[in-house]
Structure 1
Amino acid sequence: MSPWGEVLVGLVILAGLVGTIIQVIPGSFLVLGAVLVWAIVTGGQVAWTVFAISAVVVLIAAVVKFVVAGKYMVSKDIPSSTMWWGGAAGVVGFFVIPVVGLLIGFVAGVWVAELVRRKDGRAAWEATVVALKATGISILVELAAGLIATTAWIVGLVQT
């Protein structure tokens, strides 16, 4: 791959890492896609080994982030439907108030869902904080996977 192509792949990987943090795009899958393009163009055992490592890490993280966050939510007596309501409200919020509306909508959606369920504003807010922590856990897991895939790509880049 040409140096400009490698720079472009690096920029897409960087965008994926940023997307992992701000949760607007599927960050780790964008990183994986960039590594796949690099592996296809570069070819060879090193490139495909880097892609295989990246794919395994990203796919494991995709499962782990839901399992860990889900167990955390269940341990705090918050149903998954609360997160679905928060996610739906976040999507609406994203279009009503671009970018920051995602967070505002998510928080409002979780709070309203828990307020309806618990009929107590304070308990609803405590559940909202738990949901935000669970979201933070899933972001950290996905970011770790993206960083591992990025590190594998850099190592492969140096070796090819």
Structure 2
Amino acid sequence: MSLGGELLIGAVILVGLLGIVFPVLPGGLLVAAAIGIWALLVGGWAWGIFAAAAAIILIGEVVKYLVAGRSLKADGIPNTTIAVGGVLGIVGFFVIPVIGLFIGFVVGALVTELIRTRSTAAAWRGTRAASKAAVITIGIELFAALLATGVWLVGAGIW
């Protein structure tokens, strides 16, 4: 593959990594798709690189849900808190670009916990626990995508 092609794939991977940190795009999926397109164009041994990268991303996706679920369960936070926080986060993203995502998530989680617990202190504890779980999932997904990117860099001979 030409240097320009490698740089284009690298740029798409970078956008995917940014999509994990700022959850606007499906970051892990974008990283895997970019490496898959690279493997399709290069062919042969590149499919092994893609298989390794895709496996790392898939394992990261499974682990992030298991760890976040365990964390939320340990703190006694129901899934509805995360769901409402997520929906309001998406709405917030369009109302206040980028930072609205985080503001909307916190407001949604707080309101949900306030309705559920009827206590401001308990609602704040629940909101902090939900936010902690969200940060953990972002960290796990980012770590897996960075590992997959490292596998691609080695396979592409760039690193």
Match of 2:32 in 1: 32
Match of 2:52 in 1: 53
For 2:157, what is the secondary structure of its paired residue? helix
Question: What is the one-letter code of the residue matched to 1:16?
Answer: G
Identity, % of aligned positions = 49
The normalised TM-score by structure 2 is 0.96
Question: What is the one-letter code of the residue matched to 1:14?
Answer: L
Match of 1:124 in 2: 123
Deviations 1:20-69 (A, max 9, x none): 11111111111111100100001112x11110001111111111111110
CA distance in 2, matches of 1:34, 1:124: 41
CA distance in 2, matches of 1:154, 1:125: 43
Deviations 1:119-141 (A, max 9, x none): 01111011111111101110111
Question: What is the one-letter code of the residue matched to 2:17?
Answer: L
After superposing on structure 2, the runs of 4+ consecutive aligned residues of structure 1 that deviate more than 2 Å are none
Equivalence map 1:7-156=2 (5 Å): 7-45=7-45, 47-156=46-155
Question: What is the one-letter code of the residue matched to 1:148?
Answer: L
Deviations 1:90-140 (A, max 9, x none): 111111112111111000000000000000111101111111110111011
CA distance in 2, matches of 1:44, 1:156: 12
Superposition RMSD in Å: 1.0
Question: What is the one-letter code of the residue matched to 2:27?
Answer: G
Q: How many residues align?
A: 158
